[in-house]
A and B are shown apart, each in its own frame.
Chain A
């Protein structure tokens, strides 16, 4: 086989091979090809996406660390910092949901740990194909039309496996899983999405970096032994998921949360030693990518002695050792002479720890085997040398027909018969609450330990965002994660804007001020012009919204090639966001609190209903035109919500708040009732039953206030020119509208039985 053919088997293009030869001034050997193939994979190099990522704003007054490290860091108060990042584990989870999801959790935890922070929370955004519908309890209501049985079963199997894998790893390792979201859409049938976000906390002085520095300093490998796990996993994640046989796939990586937990405790102990220069998790690409990245940041070189690496399997070749993606391993750079101190800590915790190399002056990554150099590549060539793919995103005028199902707005659809007969708003509301995407995710989050660490003040299922206290401090952290792929499919630019706005709204609902973003861009094959166009548009939308709110992106991840022969996923940006609540006493609950409280809708009072769950459930339509978000209104809405929520140190004027998202106004009202079983008398006679009650246009909150706050409330809204309207009064145990009523209990039953596996 020629070197070029070998390079192509490694997933490198002819052009890339050419570049490698130029950078080296010679042809690479097989081991060096392996190094390049991983460093230059989409997964590690972001080669197709980095020009889009440049569009995102990354600076701000709280930013201590933006993109480019293992995770982003924002400064909070009293020298506290928050470290956070989201990462995908989509491809491994589609192949082996349990281990794929578990190792995804493990990997993102160690990214946070690499910054010196103790991980304090996990969130997950999951996307699966449509499920076969679950019946209403006690045979109430007619069951929706059945989907293709096989696909529903596959999605259910993936859901069960992924949830079990997240629970297995997260529960054992003792980090609460406090939030996230789950959606079901046909587009994710072949490629489920598993995005995991981890949040960590540390004092500013404890901040670490993934850097190697100081010639002669030692490189340590700590944690688990190296086996033949997931070799070429990163290149695997950079290809379409085709019907390959299982033998061709890399070995599935098996996560070991027990070792992962020991690694956290040992590493936090090691971080106390002043001789620690830097540390990094071995994620995708293992020893072929992490050490050169550390060397690149420190502008040094690194030499590794391959025989010093402790192995789990017999007769592993240097190629296999370097490319292994065995989990629960980290690389440390420590001051020469201090290595025994570090080895002692890790060995006390029962972990492997060995000196495997040192920092060198020459800026190369050198692999030695028994003293002989067997591979040597300039660090910069590995980390930054990859040429950008030439594909250009087509202009939007060439692709306007791709803007979703054109013309499928509700007014043109209404003459058509709904696929499910609707008899009034009560039946429609019940059915929507029972749809798996909207319904309760209790079945999922009760399998996750969300109370360990005793900081979870608002947990999963209770509000738009989770709220974590910081022991001994007045301030609290609000966290949220999610993103609507359907909106991006219909209009990627508007979808990108909404992904950011939705996260902002979630934080504002609990009374917190949004301070920073992490994101994961999940897309199909970027060599497809439509996909590239949607990526470009989505990122532009996200950037536009982030700029409007002056929010920085401090970390992120890109997952491409999420497609099969049959299906592409929707363009799915997942946004993770952190909010700061200055005084935890001023948190705002989601649900109705007291009878007699006044209900108001604030924000945009009318709009188009495109992309709504209502259209999907009742008309079987994924379509419609999206109402464009008015970012000027959004900025004012943010200020209003902060003022109403007591961000200025006063007690909040609000008794409760909830943003309106999937399902529209009535769904949000019903959800507000579930907390205490309270209902409301609604005065919405002027709203059309379908568009008005169930449409999903942006920029809206439902709030309740005690009657005595009415004038102060109105004054703030008027002064900032934010529209609002009276919706009704909190009262009784039913939702009452247009002379009809339905009990909150009946609605709750529909909601709670939506996902009951």
Chain B
């Protein structure tokens, strides 16, 4: 498996994601400059957190035009691999129309950095296959624009297709509709979440629960005896 962590001007969680993939999981990982257009090498494209282009105008509004993001639709259509957007990466994916909905400024209009509880809503995806449905994870959030909003229709569709993967549990820190913290697209290959799994992958930094998501991706993308999980609606085979 070969993973790419995209580096936009202004990305600041790129090295954190790289560390988890490369150093903790031993996955071959490349830091991919935003001007690259050729994604054919990579089984996983990770859009990291940060402030691509300073988040000026709107978070992700300028980054969506970066060559690397422009190359994503073809990558997804060909089912070449999986795409994961964390925090700012999620914002870029929604701005680019690769995930439905939008991320608006937090309801309290301030940046929020804290640990939150998430409930796993769908455990039958390449991203969550190592979690149990209903399991609670504790992960840090750190964002100013994380309030998930979408039309009623979209929300209905997300629910119907089981595209909602994580909800904030007990406390909804940013005012997201339906407490949505992470979703995937209809093909089950593009995934976005506001919390930072890469910030809780070791016992030193918490309970290390974030690692499950990266391990799940590695399992889904590594050819071998462990079959790619394909049950659950709308989840295509990847890798």
Direct contact of A and B (CB under 8 A): yes
Chain A residues near B (Cβ < 8 Å): 164, 167, 171-174, 256-259, 261-262, 349-350, 445-454, 456-457, 469, 471-472, 584
Bound form: Cα–Cα A450–B111 in Å: 12
Provide the residues of chain A in CB contact with B10, threshold 8 Å.
172, 258, 261-262
A122 smallest CB distance to B (angstroms): 13
A739 smallest CB distance to B (angstroms): 37
Provide the residues of chain B in CB contact with A447, threshold 8 Å.
110-113
Given A173-B12, A174-B13, A349-B9, the answer on whether A451 and B112 have CB atoms closer than 8 Å is no
Q: Does B65 contact A (CB under 8 A)?
A: no
* CB-contact partner of B54 in A257, A349, A456, A457, under 8 A: A257
A-B contact pairs, 19 of them (CB 8 A): A164-B110, A171-B51, A172-B51, A172-B55, A174-B50, A174-B51, A256-B54, A258-B51, A258-B56, A261-B9, A261-B10, A261-B54, A445-B113, A451-B196, A454-B199, A469-B204, A471-B19, A471-B23, A584-B204
In the complex, what residue of chain A is closest to B54 when comparing beta carbons? Answer: A258
Q: Are A257 and B51 in contact (CB under 8 A)?
A: yes
Provide the residues of chain A in CB contact with B16, threshold 8 Å.
452-454
B157-210 contacts to A, CB under 8 A, are 196, 198-199, 201, 204-205
Provide the residues of chain B in CB contact with A173, threshold 8 Å.
12
Provide the residues of chain A in CB contact with B78, threshold 8 Å.
none
In the complex, what residue of chain A is closest to B52 when comparing beta carbons? Answer: A258
Q: Are A454 and B19 in contact (CB under 8 A)?
A: yes
Provide the residues of chain B in CB contact with A452, threshold 8 Å.
12-13, 16, 49, 142, 199
Interface string of B50-67 (1 = CB under 8 A from A): 110111100000000000
In the complex, what residue of chain A is closest to B144 when comparing beta carbons? Answer: A171
Q: Does B100 contact A (CB under 8 A)?
A: no
In the complex, what residue of chain B is closest to A266 when comparing beta carbons? Answer: B9
A396 smallest CB distance to B (angstroms): 46
Bound form: Cα–Cα A167–B15 in Å: 21
A211 smallest CB distance to B (angstroms): 29
Q: Are A449 and B113 in contact (CB under 8 A)?
A: yes
Given A447-B110, A471-B19, the answer on whether A350 and B198 have CB atoms closer than 8 Å is no
Provide the residues of chain B in CB contact with A450, threshold 8 Å.
113
Q: Are B54 and A171 in contact (CB under 8 A)?
A: no
Provide the residues of chain A in CB contact with B201, threshold 8 Å.
454
Provide the residues of chain A in CB contact with B140, threshold 8 Å.
451
Bound form: Cα–Cα A684–B84 in Å: 57
- Nearest 7 A/B pairs, CB to CB: A174-B12, A258-B54, A172-B51, A449-B142, A451-B140, A454-B16, A449-B113
Known: A257-B54, A261-B51, A448-B111. 6 other contacts (CB 8 A): A174-B12, A256-B54, A257-B51, A452-B16, A454-B201, A456-B205
Q: Are A448 and B54 in contact (CB under 8 A)?
A: no
Bound form: Cα–Cα A90–B10 in Å: 28
Q: Are A451 and B113 in contact (CB under 8 A)?
A: yes
Provide the residues of chain B in CB contact with A171, threshold 8 Å.
51, 111, 113, 142, 144
Q: Are B54 and A172 in contact (CB under 8 A)?
A: yes
Provide the residues of chain A in CB contact with B199, threshold 8 Å.
451-452, 454
A694 smallest CB distance to B (angstroms): 31
Bound form: Cα–Cα A452–B49 in Å: 9
B24-80 contacts to A, CB under 8 A, are 49-51, 53-56
B62 smallest CB distance to A (angstroms): 10
B80 smallest CB distance to A (angstroms): 27
Bound form: Cα–Cα A25–B238 in Å: 79
B94-112 contacts to A, CB under 8 A, are 110-112
Q: Are B111 and A167 in contact (CB under 8 A)?
A: yes
Provide the residues of chain B in CB contact with A457, threshold 8 Å.
204-205
A346 smallest CB distance to B (angstroms): 12
Bound form: Cα–Cα A229–B53 in Å: 22
Provide the residues of chain A in CB contact with B113, threshold 8 Å.
171, 445-451
A636 smallest CB distance to B (angstroms): 32
In the complex, what residue of chain A is closest to B113 when comparing beta carbons? Answer: A449
Bound form: Cα–Cα A447–B106 in Å: 12
A557 smallest CB distance to B (angstroms): 26
Bound form: Cα–Cα A584–B204 in Å: 9
B144 smallest CB distance to A (angstroms): 8
Provide the residues of chain B in CB contact with A164, threshold 8 Å.
110
Provide the residues of chain A in CB contact with B54, threshold 8 Å.
172, 256-259, 261
B172 smallest CB distance to A (angstroms): 15
Q: Are B12 and A261 in contact (CB under 8 A)?
A: yes
Bound form: Cα–Cα A469–B201 in Å: 14
In the complex, what residue of chain A is closest to B56 when comparing beta carbons? Answer: A258
Provide the residues of chain B in CB contact with A174, threshold 8 Å.
12-13, 50-51
In the complex, what residue of chain B is closest to A257 when comparing beta carbons? Answer: B54
Bound form: Cα–Cα A172–B52 in Å: 9
Provide the residues of chain A in CB contact with B19, threshold 8 Å.
454, 471
Q: Are A454 and B205 in contact (CB under 8 A)?
A: yes
Bound form: Cα–Cα A446–B173 in Å: 11
In this complex, which of A167, A173, A259, A449 has the most chain B Cβ atoms within 10 angstroms of its Cβ?
Answer: A449
Provide the residues of chain B in CB contact with A256, threshold 8 Å.
54
Provide the residues of chain A in CB contact with B12, threshold 8 Å.
172-174, 261, 452
Bound form: Cα–Cα A452–B111 in Å: 14
Bound form: Cα–Cα A294–B159 in Å: 62
Bound form: Cα–Cα A447–B144 in Å: 9
Q: Are A258 and B53 in contact (CB under 8 A)?
A: yes
Provide the residues of chain A in CB contact with B55, threshold 8 Å.
172
Q: Are B9 and A258 in contact (CB under 8 A)?
A: yes
In the complex, what residue of chain B is closest to A168 when comparing beta carbons? Answer: B111
Provide the residues of chain B in CB contact with A167, threshold 8 Å.
110-111
In the complex, what residue of chain A is closest to B141 when comparing beta carbons? Answer: A451
Bound form: Cα–Cα A276–B74 in Å: 42
In the complex, what residue of chain A is closest to B49 when comparing beta carbons? Answer: A452
* CB-contact partner of B142 in A262, A350, A451, under 8 A: A451
A445 smallest CB distance to B (angstroms): 8
Bound form: Cα–Cα A448–B15 in Å: 19
B199 smallest CB distance to A (angstroms): 5
In this complex, which of B112, B142, B196 has the most chain A Cβ atoms within 10 angstroms of its Cβ?
Answer: B142
* CB-contact partner of A446 in B49, B50, B56, B114, under 8 A: B114
Bound form: Cα–Cα A449–B114 in Å: 8
Provide the residues of chain A in CB contact with B196, threshold 8 Å.
451
Bound form: Cα–Cα A259–B54 in Å: 8
Provide the residues of chain A in CB contact with B13, threshold 8 Å.
174, 452
Provide the residues of chain A in CB contact with B112, threshold 8 Å.
446-447
Bound form: Cα–Cα A102–B212 in Å: 37
In the complex, what residue of chain A is closest to B202 when comparing beta carbons? Answer: A454
Bound form: Cα–Cα A656–B114 in Å: 23
In this complex, which of B15, B53, B54, B201 has the most chain A Cβ atoms within 10 angstroms of its Cβ?
Answer: B54
A678 smallest CB distance to B (angstroms): 20
B68 smallest CB distance to A (angstroms): 15
A267 smallest CB distance to B (angstroms): 14
A340 smallest CB distance to B (angstroms): 20
B185 smallest CB distance to A (angstroms): 27
Provide the residues of chain B in CB contact with A446, threshold 8 Å.
112-114
Provide the residues of chain B in CB contact with A453, threshold 8 Å.
15-16
Bound form: Cα–Cα A446–B23 in Å: 29
Bound form: Cα–Cα A261–B112 in Å: 20
In the complex, what residue of chain A is closest to B206 when comparing beta carbons? Answer: A451
Bound form: Cα–Cα A349–B111 in Å: 27
A472 smallest CB distance to B (angstroms): 8
Bound form: Cα–Cα A157–B174 in Å: 23
Q: Are B198 and A454 in contact (CB under 8 A)?
A: yes
A255 smallest CB distance to B (angstroms): 11
Bound form: Cα–Cα A261–B14 in Å: 13
Bound form: Cα–Cα A171–B144 in Å: 10
Bound form: Cα–Cα A620–B53 in Å: 50
Q: Are A449 and B111 in contact (CB under 8 A)?
A: yes
A477 smallest CB distance to B (angstroms): 14
In the complex, what residue of chain A is closest to B13 when comparing beta carbons? Answer: A452
In this complex, which of A172, A445, A453 has the most chain B Cβ atoms within 10 angstroms of its Cβ?
Answer: A172
